[in-house]
Amino acid sequence: MIDTVFLTDYAWPDDSVEREIVESAGMRLVSGPAAPLPASGIEALAREHLPSAILTCWAPVSAETIAASARLKIVARLGVGLDNIAVDAATARGIFVTNVPDYCVDEVSDHAVGFALAWTRGLMIFDREVHAGRWSPADARLRRLGALTCGLVGFGRIARATAHKLGAFGCRLLTHDPFLREPVPGVQAVALDELLANSDIVIVHAPLTDGTRHLINRERIAKMRRGSLLINVSRGGIVDTDAVIEALQSGQLSAAGLDVLDSEPRVPDELLRQRGAMLTPHVAFSSDASLLELRRRATEEVVRVLRGEAPRNPCNSPAA
């Protein structure tokens, strides 16, 4: 029987890369719509096609979806985070969950530094002003990036790349990561409250877990330096958007660089009205090179497991 690979959704124009790899391996690809269906829609397609593997970008892969096919051997995330996959349910059923943990390190760290530069140099605000017909260099309230303290919440692969790039500007670097076990040259590990109180720029690089949901909330934003910058290029659920809006309105935050939102793809109208809101549509991971690498590596992982080989990036230890 030919193995079926179910691609739930995709954030690029077509499924050509995935299809070529799957079909070249003698397997069959079934693709859902590009925009992710709700959990019930994904479950229905899984019951219809009984896949041996699921490739997923943003769509929810629930415990019901995982139970829908007795043939299922792997759920592969086209990305890094696993918050849209019922990992425990997969593990209990002996199904591998995999990701591509390092495909977009350069892109996401570049995006974070880009937000920092846009703020210190006033790039987005002055672009808007000039387009609106206002030419007023005397209004500039700009800062030297190298003179600032930058705090990194989380210190995994991407945060380390961000720290390296900010270090080249001369920034003082702080980090808070409960899993950091050894000192890092040039970076001071501190408690979260200390990081917030002493940073001009706070950058969120943490994964979304039960413990980090709304980690950056009203109380923690109140501990930040008044007029500072908050950047989130990780997961929207880590930052309370309503708290950010209030902080922008009060001046507690002078700006926020948000590539992700807890309400995405819906953007609150009040956030759009904030002059200091720098918003991008969850694209920090994206470039021509990173997307090709992501799609190729995630699909090759599926083929590898369906051929009986061990995955290269397992995120769980399935029950036998």
> Sheet harboring 149-153: ordered strands across?
187-189, 172-176, 149-153, 201-204, 228-232, 253-258, 277-279
Contacts of 60 (CB under 8 A, 6+ apart): 36, 38, 39, 42, 84, 85
Q: What three-state secondary structure class fits 97?
A: strand
Q: How many CA atoms lie within 13 A of 75 on its CB side?
A: 37
Residue 282 designated active-site: yes
How many Cβ atoms from other residues are within 10 Å of residue 147's Cβ? Answer: 12
- Of the residues 20, 194, 246, 264, only one is catalytic, namely 264
Residue 235 designated active-site: yes
Output the six-digit token pair for 29: 């690809």
- Of the residues 194, 282, 293, 300, only one is catalytic, namely 282
Which ranges of the chain does DSSP label H, i.e. alpha helix? 16-24, 39-49, 63-67, 87-92, 105-120, 123-131, 157-169, 192-198, 218-222, 241-250, 269-272, 288-306
How many Cβ atoms from other residues are within 10 Å of residue 208's Cβ? Answer: 19
Residue 176 designated active-site: no
Q: For residue 224, which amino acid is it?
A: M
- Of the residues 172, 220, 235, 304, only one is catalytic, namely 235
**CB-neighbour burial class of residue 165 (10 A; exposed 0-12, middle 13-18, buried 19+):** middle
β-strand partners of 214: none
- Residue numbers annotated as active site: 235, 264, 282
